[in-house]
């Protein structure tokens, strides 16, 4: 699969890159994508939710009224979950939501996400960015040149570049990651995926 390479001015250069059919040309596995995204979101949950149950409520332990002869239902504790001010019945407790997935399945999910973007024309290749200093205005101009100023964009770099990252972090719809840390959720969550030229080799090396 051949793709044009764009420059920072938004114009197609004479260069073309060949994307691996084993990654960008496969039939996407929706189930693999579902599991990987589910794991990503589950692992992000703090799991610190907590409600007090009847044993944790402060209050008297005295029996409210005698067992028989009142004409009403039996009542043994003011902390019962059936009474106002009582504890929560089977309330939430702190827990860990994370779960494990097979490495091969996670790799298939990332391949499927890239293939899905390639099939829907939501993938483009950009020449490697060279920024000497962090400049948000310069990065914003780049997006304008690529006609992506109002889109949710994921920029994938071949290697860590602090200047590019700091230039983009104030832009709410832009996320910059390196090729060795990109995940399925980020790829699918973006409207457009912009691959730096050097990132393609890293992605293909990891996923193949």
- Indicate yes or no: pTM above 0.85: no
Looking only at the bridges linking them, the beta strands covering 153-157 and 192-196 are parallel
Residues 1-15 have pLDDT tens digits of 888 898 888 888 888
Judged against a pLDDT cut of 90, whether residue 84 lies above it is answered with: yes
Residues 34-76 have pLDDT tens digits of 999 999 999 999 999 999 999 999 989 899 999 999 999 999 9
Q: Which of 185, 161, 165, 163 is nearest to 175 (CA)?
A: 165
For 203, counting Cβ atoms within 10 Å of its Cβ (0-12 exposed, 13-18 middle, 19+ buried), the class is: buried
According to CATH, what is the number of the domain 2-45+98-207? 3.40.1370.10
Judged against a pLDDT cut of 90, whether residue 140 lies above it is answered with: yes
Cβ atoms within 10 Å of 107's Cβ, excluding its own: 17
Q: Where are the domains of the chain?
A: 2-45+98-207, 48-96
Long-range contact list for 53-58, CB < 8 A, 24+ apart? Answer: 53/81, 53/87, 53/88, 53/89, 53/90, 53/91, 54/79, 54/80, 54/81, 54/86, 54/87, 54/89, 55/79, 55/87, 56/87, 57/85, 57/86, 57/87
The pLDDT of residue 115 is: 96
The pLDDT of residue 145 is: 92
Judged against a pLDDT cut of 90, whether residue 81 lies above it is answered with: yes
186, 33 contact by CB (below 8 A): no
């Amino acid at each position: 699969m051949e793709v044009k390479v764009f420059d920072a001015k938004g114009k197609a250069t004479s260069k073309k890159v060949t994307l691996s059919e084993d990654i960008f040309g496969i039939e996407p596995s929706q189930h693999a994508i579902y599991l990987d995204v589910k794991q990503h979101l589950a692992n992000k949950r703090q799991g610190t939710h907590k409600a007090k149950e009847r044993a944790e409520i402060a209050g008297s332990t005295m029996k409210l009224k005698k067992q028989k002869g009142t004409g009403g239902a039996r009542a043994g504790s003011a902390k019962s979950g059936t009474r106002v001010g009582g504890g929560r019945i089977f309330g939430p407790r702190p827990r860990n939501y994370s779960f494990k997935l097979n490495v091969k399945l996670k790799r298939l999910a990332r391949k499927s996400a890239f293939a899905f973007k390639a099939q829907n024309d939501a993938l483009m290749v950009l020449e490697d960015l060279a920024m000497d200093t962090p400049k948000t205005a310069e990065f914003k101009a780049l997006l304008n040149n690529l006609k992506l100023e109002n889109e949710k964009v994921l920029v994938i770099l071949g290697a860590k570049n602090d200047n590019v990252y700091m230039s983009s972090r104030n832009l709410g719809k832009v996320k910059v990651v390196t090729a060795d840390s990109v995940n399925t959720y980020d790829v699918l969550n973006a409207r457009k995926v912009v691959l730096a030229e050097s990132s393609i080799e890293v992605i293909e090396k990891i996923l193949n």
